[in-house]
């Protein structure tokens, strides 16, 4: 099997196990990351680092989660990562490299908002979700908009701001329907 296919398979296995067995998810994503680096596929590397952040957060290791997510953010904040994108459809349906990078940037911001929520940093959580919404709106990504409004709705729900939560969660469902998510 060539390295790109092996990398993609490891990512899919990590995603499969993400919510059911974090140790297995971590096992596969740790096999994915070195391949992405070896192949110099920066968006795939950022994706792997983001998944390591999610898994680490799920395991309660917030320091590792933030460290990994910050490394992913450094990659996608650099426009150079728009070059050499293998299977761009994993990141955007538009086929536009800039949108692939921005989609990954918004995804990572959405994921780090969850870490901020778990650690009680509500100001950063709100700011990060708002940044995700701006990017997702700019690139017209309904899936990301659905996820971001869901995150914002959950934030308000936990704050007992139920009317705002309901409005935002309904908005999330509208974008979810539009995206087929």
For all residues of the chain together, what is the average pLDDT?
93
Please give the Cα distance from 29 to 72 (Å, whole number): 14
pLDDT at 138: 94
Q: Does the predicted model carry a pTM greater than 0.85?
A: yes
pLDDT tens profile 108-162? 999 999 899 889 898 999 999 999 999 999 999 999 999 999 989 988 998 999 9
Average pLDDT over residues 89-100: 88
Cα–chain center distance at 145: 12
pLDDT at 134: 95
Instruction: Compute CA distances 120 → 33, 124, 135, 150, 171, whole Å.
Output: 29, 9, 24, 18, 25
pLDDT at 1: 58
pLDDT tens profile 40-89? 999 999 999 999 999 999 999 999 999 999 999 999 999 999 988 998 88
pLDDT at 2: 86
Average pLDDT over residues 156-174: 95
Helix axes 3-17, 42-58, angle to 10 degrees: 20
């Amino acid at each position: 099997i060539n390295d790109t296919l092996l990398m993609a398979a490891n990512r899919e296995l990590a995603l499969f196990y993400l919510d059911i067995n974090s140790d297995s998810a971590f096992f596969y994503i740790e096999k994915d990351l070195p391949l992405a680096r070896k192949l110099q596929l920066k968006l795939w590397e950022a994706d792997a680092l983001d998944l390591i952040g999610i898994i680490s957060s799920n395991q309660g290791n917030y320091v590792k989660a933030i460290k990994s997510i910050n490394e992913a953010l450094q990659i996608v904040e650099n426009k150079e990562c728009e070059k050499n994108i293998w299977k761009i459809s994993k990141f955007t349906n538009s086929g536009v490299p800039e949108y692939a990078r921005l989609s990954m940037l918004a995804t990572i911001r959405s994921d780090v908002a969850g870490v901020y929520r778990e650690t009680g940093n509500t100001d950063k959580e709100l700011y990060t979700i708002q940044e995700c919404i701006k990017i997702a709106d700019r690139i017209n990504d309904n899936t990301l908009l659905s996820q971001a409004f869901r995150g914002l709705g959950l934030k308000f729900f936990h704050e007992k701001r139920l009317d705002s939560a309901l409005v935002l969660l309904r908005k999330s469902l509208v974008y979810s329907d539009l995206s087929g998510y």
